[in-house]
Amino acid sequence: MSLYELAKVIHETNKGNGFDPPTWDNLPAKVMFAVTELEEGMAAIRGDGEDPLTEELADAAIRILDILHSVWNDRWADRTGDVLSFRPDGGLFEPGEVALWRPLSMLCKGVEAWRHERRRDVQSALEIALRELFLFGIRLGVDLHVIIEWKNAKNGTRGLRHGKARAEG
């Protein structure tokens, strides 16, 4: 399924689980949830996380895809198309924390653009953050699209708000 279709399925799963949908007004909070997934990815890299790094990458991508679908429907750019042709060149080793900094930085830039009502810049920042997650997946030797589909199916079985007290998440 295309990334646009997957974003719609993710949105429906989240809605079915009782989560508030992303909107322009709550966008910073929704982006922050993607940031927390990246922090959990850092914990996975350190070896003290609860879930594997690839699952945390999928969680962050799920958050971003839900925002893109909810706020822009299908009027956003799938910038991940060329990552499937990317092959690591065997160059210098890059720590995972450095690779996670790129999507994190783009999420921060997106929130800053939101503060200035620069909608197109917010959208672009989220698109690029998503692309960086997919590139990191390729560097890890995984197809993040497949992991996202699996994780979204898992999320669909987790029940109302995944046991959380608040619907914002």
Residue 168 has a pLDDT of 67
CA angle 57, 62, 63 (to 5 degrees): 100
The yes-or-no verdict on residue 167 having pLDDT over 70 is no
In the chain, domain spans? 3-74+94-157
How do residues 37-96 score in pLDDT, each as one tens digit?
Answer: 999 999 999 999 999 999 999 999 999 999 999 999 999 999 987 665 555 554 446 788
Residue-wise pLDDT tens digits, 88-132: 554 446 788 889 999 999 999 999 999 999 999 999 999 999 999
State residue 91's pLDDT score: 45
Cα dihedral sign for 5, 9, 62, 87? negative
pTM (2 d.p.): 0.91
